[in-house]
Structure 1
Amino acid sequence: MLMHCDHHLVLQSPERTLDALDLMDDFYLNLLDWGSSNVLVITLGNTVYFWDASDSSTSKLVTIDDDNGPVTSVSWALDGRHIAIGLNKSEVQLQDSASNRQLRTLRGCH
């Protein structure tokens, strides 16, 4: 069912549902982010995944070991290619999503 609201259509039910069983329920964590290339980056446990909205495919970016984790936040760069992964030890890992490669680690970040 669709409703009209100030000349915009508003869906009354979800178009898709993403099952994220291991998503931590913590108000202070930022564990998913929608990128400019229509890809969602999401953290489940200590693993960061991609979900591509165009074909509903998923792929793994990286798993953070217990010594460096847990992941506390993820964020796409505006270029839609690079991702910042915030870790519990005040570190941020910068990842290249195309090559699944870590570019650098910034330490002492908040």
Structure 2
Amino acid sequence: MSLRLQATSSCLSVGLHRVLGGLLLLSLLLTLLVPSSNGQPESIDMFAELRCLCVRTVSGMHPSKISSLEVIKAGAHCPKVQVIATLKEGKKFCLDPDAPGVKKLVQKILEGRGLAA
């Protein structure tokens, strides 16, 4: 009978070690996922910029309503070109970069700045 108790206690010991090892590994992984913060809001902005900003796009917008236009080229943060229009009233819309009207608008702005080829 004492043999059986020893076998059971060793099984419990092995099971406890596995559980504790798993919890230690899980806590280490969770600490890697939480970004370190030194109190500066720029660190939060840095993590927010690592994805596409435009989820939905609009195929066109009247140029007279647009106060500024921002073109973000494709990169590691997002595989597609993003065109963000800020309206005179302050709202922002993502424009479809493949729409003919948007292409004309971007081309016109680039020509006005002397940047078009």
TM-score between both structures, scaled by the size of structure 1: 0.27
Please tell me whether Structure 1 or Structure 2 has the larger radius of gyration of its CA atoms.
2
Higher relative contact order, chain-length normalized (CA < 8 Å, sep 6+): 2
**Of Structure 1 and Structure 2, which has the larger fraction of its residues in helix?**
2
